[in-house]
Amino acid sequence: MSEVLRFELLGPQRAWYADRPLDLGAGKQRAVLAVLLLSAGRPVSIGQVIEAVWPEEPPANGPNVVQKHVAGLRRILEPDRSPRTPGQVLTLTDAGYLLRIPPESVDAVRFERGVHRARQQHAAGRATEALAELTAALDLWQGEPFTGFPGMYFDTARHRLVELRAVALETRAELALESGRHRELVGELVELVAEFPVRERLRHQLMLALYRSGRQAEALVAYREFADLLREEHGIEPGEVLQDLHGRMLRSDATLLPASPQPALTAPALIPADTRAAPAPAAPVVPEQPLAAPAAPVVPEQPLAAASAVRPAQPVPAAPPVPAPWPDRGAGPLPPPAGWPPPGPAGGPAQGWPGGPPLGPVPMPAVPRRGVPRWLSIGTTVVAALTAVASFGFLTWLVVLLYALWRRSWRNGLAAACYLAVSVTCLSVIGNSDTDEVSDLEGFLIAVWLIAWLAGVVHIVLLNGRLLGWLGAHRRRQVADDRRLRREHARYLLYHYPTARGELHIGRPDLPRAYDDGGLVDINAVADQVIIGLPGLSPTQAQHLMLDRRVRGPYASMEELAARCLLPPAASEPLREVLVFLPPAPSS
């Protein structure tokens, strides 16, 4: 049954049973379904559904209203089910309502998994597969998700998906630039820049695509327009990466050109599928020159995998493309661009660059050896610890000795000798005693034996760092889950009992309080020293945030904060879990 159901959230909310579209009912019923789809395969409590669907004014008989909408969804999702037959798709468990559908039947899940696979393929050097995967994932978008659904729950889900789409679009443009398709990419980048006006990475890619298409003047105009926008709207300058690109374009830097002509990839094109024509016969692609041609030819740097390939007879007047990673602003000094010659001996050019020594053989990186599988390592430790416990500590020396021989550790060998000495001494003294009374020496040896027994078990466990790491990770997950639950409860109190903000000091770690809100931070009210310690923020970004808050006033959402302070995703995502955006408290 669940295999024939398909759902769309990336745009207008729609559903199909086999090939038949389903009428999902009124708005609140659709919202209940959206909450269940976002947690497909996991139970959702009735309280969570009420908080998400009715964030401001929950109904007095909330559980009954949710049950009514769930009954309506069951009739829609299982049209062939008789009224007396229990539901198979939407069921009620002890933890809440559970939507039993494959995750891949929801387009939002397919999109996230496709982007994740594309990242793995890109990291593995499979650019063609990554581009095809990203294109297929982005084609799932039909519009803005969760339109008409108010509340923080849907706002958070919408912003997360939109941010992931923006990053996927940037990565796809980056792959297209690496493949030499800068000319056909300009139009799409112009549209993306209009949609995301303050994303510097898209501006960087647009300027680079224009420059490589022989449109140097337009690339410089694009930079000037972006700089004017930031100055007028936000009072800041473009980032160092963009300023560096602008300076290199003014110098007509030849390293900004693609390394060599490359044929079009076999992945789907960036234009819509319905307007895609049949591929034309392959023709050599000639890289376009900027307004000023380079003075001397530059030999492109070869990748490791092609170090032993046959070199072309003539040098190619081009250089490696601009580096793919987008460094975090304010995280320290920026590395030199990938197109610049690396320094060689005595400060001169490195191998393979004009004026430097010839390119020699490239050493391949060493492949790390695979260790013992985790399950075998942890299982061996458990068996060894049980052996020490079951033998009352008299075989601890043997277990530690085996570890010492395997790891060639003289310290463990010395410990094994001590355990053996304690065992032999206890057995020889206590075992040869002819009286039933326990002497002082025997009592002392029994105490030493008990301590050695317990210490030996602990020692064996400590010999396995993986087991300790697993236990530590499990404990950290428990602590993180507990803090997450506390944050959710604190957010619930803020929405339903506004007076709790002042009574419990929610979001104010700089004030004394007895209530644990899970580490929430009210960004509009906390002191500056709290902002400096926020996760994911560099000192420069924290100072920028403090200055912007004092000059331009409070923030209304995470998106507004990221836009005003130009925070990259690596810095803004960790903040979503802890920040709350409450209006400033009225002054007394």
For 90, the 3-state DSSP assignment is: strand
Cβ atoms within 10 Å of 334's Cβ, excluding its own: 13
pLDDT of 260 reads 55
Distance in angstroms (rounded) separating the CA atoms of residues 428 and 56: 77
Cβ atoms within 10 Å of 558's Cβ, excluding its own: 22
Residues contacting residue 421 through CB under 8 Å, at least 6 positions apart: none
Residues 4, 91 contacting (CB under 8 angstroms): no
The ranges assigned to domains in the chain are 2-108, 109-271, 374-457, 473-580
Q: Is 143 left (phi over 0), alpha (psi -120 to 50) or beta?
A: left
pLDDT of 202 reads 93
Question: Mutual orientation of helices 558-565 and 539-552 as an angle, nearest 10°?
Answer: 110
Distance in angstroms (rounded) separating the CA atoms of residues 574 and 384: 41
For 522, the 3-state DSSP assignment is: strand
Distance in angstroms (rounded) separating the CA atoms of residues 399 and 419: 10
Q: Which two tokens stand for residue 544?
A: 């920028």
pLDDT of 467 reads 60
pLDDT of 203 reads 93
pTM for the whole structure? 0.46
- Kindly list the distances between the CA atom of residue 586 and the CA atoms of 97, 154, 213, 502, 508, in Å, as whole numbers in the listed order: 41, 28, 56, 11, 16
DSSP 373-413: -HHHHHHHHHHHHHHHHHTTTTTHHHHHHHHHHHHT-HHHH
Catalogue the E-assigned strands of 439-478: none
Secondary structure of 54-82 as H, E, C letters? CCCCCCCCHHHHHHHHHHHHHHHHCCCCC
pLDDT of 1 reads 53
With the C-alpha atoms ordered 577, 579, 581, 586, is the resulting torsion angle positive or negative? positive
Residues 168, 130 contacting (CB under 8 angstroms): no
Candidate CATH numbers 1.10.10.10, 1.25.40.10, 3.40.50.670, 3.40.50.2300; the one for domain 2-108: 1.10.10.10
Averaged in consecutive runs of 10 residues, what is the pLDDT profile of the chain (588 residues)? 80 88 89 90 89 87 90 85 75 87 90 92 90 93 89 90 92 90 89 91 93 91 91 87 92 80 43 40 40 39 36 42 40 41 46 43 40 66 84 84 81 86 80 68 81 84 67 75 83 76 85 85 90 86 88 86 83 85 69
pLDDT of 133 reads 93
Nearest to 176 by CA among 243, 246, 269: 269
Max CA-CA distance within the chain? 105
pLDDT of 312 reads 41
pLDDT of 447 reads 85
Residue count of the chain, please give it. Answer: 588
Superfamily, domain 109-271: Tetratricopeptide repeat domain (1.25.40.10)
Distance in angstroms (rounded) separating the CA atoms of residues 196 and 250: 25
For residue 276, the number of C-alpha atoms closer than 13 Å in the C-beta half-sphere is 9
What is the CA angle 103-105-108, rounded to 5? 75
Nearest to 341 by CA among 358, 320, 324, 312: 320
Q: Which residues pair with 15 in a beta bridge?
A: 7
Q: Which two tokens stand for residue 405?
A: 């021989």
Q: Which two tokens stand for residue 430?
A: 């206590």
Distance in angstroms (rounded) separating the CA atoms of residues 88 and 84: 12
